[in-house]
Structure formats: structure tokens, C-alpha cells
Amino acid sequence: MDFELWWLLGIPVFFALGWIAARVDIHQLVSESRSLPRNYFKGLNFLLNEQHDKAIDAFIEVVKLDPESADMHFALGNLFRRRGETERAIRVHQNLLARPDLPLEQQGHAAYELGMDYLKAGLLDRAEETFNSLVDTQYAAQARRALLEIYQREKEWPRAIEAAVGLQESGAGARQKEIAQFYCELAHDALVHMKPDDAMPLLEKALQTDRKSVRATILTGDVLLARGDTEGALTTWRRVEQQSVPHVALVAQRLMDGYTKVGRAQEGVNLLRSYLEEASSIDLIEVVFKAVIELDGVEAAKQLVSAELRRTPTLLGLDKLLEARMMDAPAAIWSELSMVKNLVHGYTQKLARYQCSHCGFKARQFYWHCPGCNRWETYPPRRTEELNVMN
């Protein structure tokens, strides 16, 4: 490639042009920053230091000086909402929407923020109306997510399914797990109202949506049992093992009751004991423990609990062992065992909780839908102490 000497002359020229452009940008930046009110920077500083009250006061002064500043109104409205002052947040965003000169993009933004104000205030009808007006705008995904939250709060499961499907089809992420749970909610309602025939098609849709839905499988067994098909229910509940071995603890009592009903209680005990070998669980031990006492006696139950306690040492397991020991303990030591049992049992009540893996919310019963963070299937089917031992 031929080299021309005059190319060297272009280097200082380009350097000079770059220097001039940088000076122009810096000059513009400085002039713009000087034009901003001093309270704007004070408000930012208060925000960075988590002093929301002072930040609001500073931003209110800015809005007074420049009523046309839409961005400042957005900041102020969001601060009000975060502080729980939803009425003031609503007024700020309503005033923005009432401005005839507000650009179309900012109109959508203001409507979305107003919908979030309504949602935070618990005005679900107004929030739903506002978000529905945004489903054909650039805020469609955010609006559908908010609508999904509203329908779940109101337990409007058909509309929740519709909203979740819309989100999934729009490319906003997979929602199979939630959709399956919504079908399960509808099926559960049908079962509660003694309509098993209405529940079955809903559960079929749930399993078509999410083949790994343990809840749908459990409820399908419940429907078969309600129809009088105990053998079919047992076959269905056993499928839980194929979906998630730890979740068999949730169907252990159903399985034991079912096998007892058809006259094959020992087969049920043997099955549950095989599950214990795969996934030890206090809830599972509880069911097997009671069944072994009835079928094989106290000594066999003590051996069962002792073996499980050696394999997985927990206070919950010790509590169960003490219960077994007290059943045939001599009178001389029964009172002492009773005292120890009461002390251990009192402490284990704090450990015998299920805990949400997302928000940490603890509960005495197992939930498919966390009451703390409103997420689905975030509860492991094991008690907190068992999880700590495993970790």
C-alpha cells in the first residue's frame, strides 16, 4: 500500500476537530447544569442518602419554579407512592395527564404510573381500567404484568390465565407454571363445591400446560377418589415420585389411607418406607410412624425412628423418637421422659415450619402460593430444620 506524506497533515486537523467538539460538549453540559435549580441537586443528594422527606420538599420547590417539568413530576409522584402517600401520588400523575401539551410517550408513562398508584392504594377497579387502556401501547408488557397481579389478588383465575397467556405470547417470559396453578385453583374450587366432573378437564389442561405440576397430579388423584375410584387415585398419586421425589411427603397420608381402604395397608407402609430411603422427611416419617405402630407395634416404630434419626439427625426426629419411647416406658422414668419430650416439642414447634425460598416467609402449613411474596411454588416440601441439615 502506497503511503502519501500529506496524510500526516490530517492527523493534527482531526485532533483539533475532536478537541473543539469536546470543548463544545463540556460547555453545553456546564451551561445546562447551571440552568438547573439548586433544589434539584439538593433533592438528588437527599435521595442518595435515603432522606425521602427532604427530597420531596426539594422537588416540590423545583416543580413550583418549573411547573412544565414532566420528569420532575414523575420523580415526585414515585416518591409519594414509595412513602405510601398514594393520594398525593395520584394527584401528581392525574395533573400530568390533564396537560394538553404532554407528549404522547409521556402520556403513556403518566397513565402507567397512575395505574401503579391505584394498585398501591388498593383501588383495583381503577387500576384495572387504567392498565387495560395501555395493552396496545409501549407499556403493554408492564400493564399485563400488573393486570396479572390484580386478577390473582381478586382470584379471577380465568382472567389470570388469559393475562398470563398474553404475556407468554408477547415474549415476556414463560408462564407455564403459573398458568397450571391457575387451572389448579379452579379445579380445587370445583372439588370444594363437590363437582369433581368439572375439575377433571381443568386438571387435564393444567398438566398439558406443565407436565411437572405436582399439584395437578395430587388433585387429579383427589378427583378420582371423589368419584369412588380408589385404585385410580393410588396410581395417580404414585406418579408424584416421577415428578419430584421430595413431594411424595405431601401425598403420604393420602396413599396410606387409600391402601388401608382397599385392604392393602402393609403394601402402603412398604411403599412409603421405600420413599423414606430416597428422600427422608419428617412429614413422611410421621405418616409411616403411625402406620407402623398400628400394623407392627411400638417396637418396630421405635426402630424406624431410631434408624431415621441416625441417618438424618434433627430435633424433629428426636421429638418423634421420644414420643415412641414414652409409649412403653416404665413408670419410673415416664415422668422424666415426658418432661424432656415437652421441652423438645416446644422448641421443635419453631422449627417445624415451611419457608419460602424467595422471600423467607415461614408458615406452619405448606403453600403453593406464598402469602409473603405472592410467588408460586417457592416452598420446598421440607421443614426448615431439615433444609438446614441438608445445607
Over residues 35-66, the pLDDT tens digits come to 445 544 455 454 445 555 555 555 445 444 44
CB 214 within 8 A of CB 243: yes
Least confident of 30-39, 135-144, 204-213: 30-39
Indicate the SS3 state at residue 314: coil
Q: In angstroms, what CA-CA distances link 96 with 76, 82, 123, 125, 360?
A: 12, 18, 20, 21, 39
**Residues in a beta bridge with 362:** 355
Nearest to 312 by CA among 391, 390, 246: 390
pLDDT the model gives residue 64: 44
For residue 13, pLDDT beyond 60 = no
Higher-scoring residue by pLDDT: 186, 288? 186
Q: Is 184 annotated among the ligand-binding residues?
A: no
Global pTM reads 0.74
pLDDT the model gives residue 71: 73
Whole-angstrom distance, CA of residue 43 vs CA of residue 180: 46
Q: What is the mean pLDDT of the chain?
A: 79
C-alpha dihedral sign at 110, 113, 115, 121: negative
Q: Which residues contact 145 (CB under 8 A, 6 or more apart)?
A: 167, 172
Whole-angstrom distance, CA of residue 348 vs CA of residue 363: 14
Within 10 angstroms of residue 339's Cβ, the number of other Cβ atoms is 10
Mean pLDDT for the stretch of residues 283-307: 85
The predicted-structure confidence for 366-377, as pLDDT tens digits, reads as follows 999 998 888 999
For residue 17, pLDDT beyond 60 = no
For residue 82, pLDDT beyond 50 = yes
pLDDT the model gives residue 304: 82
Which three three-digit cell numbers place residue 152? 390473582
Indicate the SS3 state at residue 155: coil
Which three three-digit cell numbers place residue 266? 402393609
Whole-angstrom distance, CA of residue 144 vs CA of residue 170: 10
Higher-scoring residue by pLDDT: 178, 96? 178
Indicate the SS3 state at residue 354: strand
Q: Is 356 annotated among the ligand-binding residues?
A: yes
Mean pLDDT for the stretch of residues 249-253: 94
Protein fold of 68-172: 1.25.40
Torsion on CA atoms 156, 159, 160, 163, rounded to nearest 10: -160
Please give the share of the chain, as a percent, with pLDDT higher than 70: 74
Whole-angstrom distance, CA of residue 46 vs CA of residue 34: 19
- pLDDT band, residue 25 (cuts 50/70/90): very low
**Residues in a beta bridge with 354:** 363
Mean pLDDT for the stretch of residues 146-156: 93
Whole-angstrom distance, CA of residue 216 vs CA of residue 234: 14
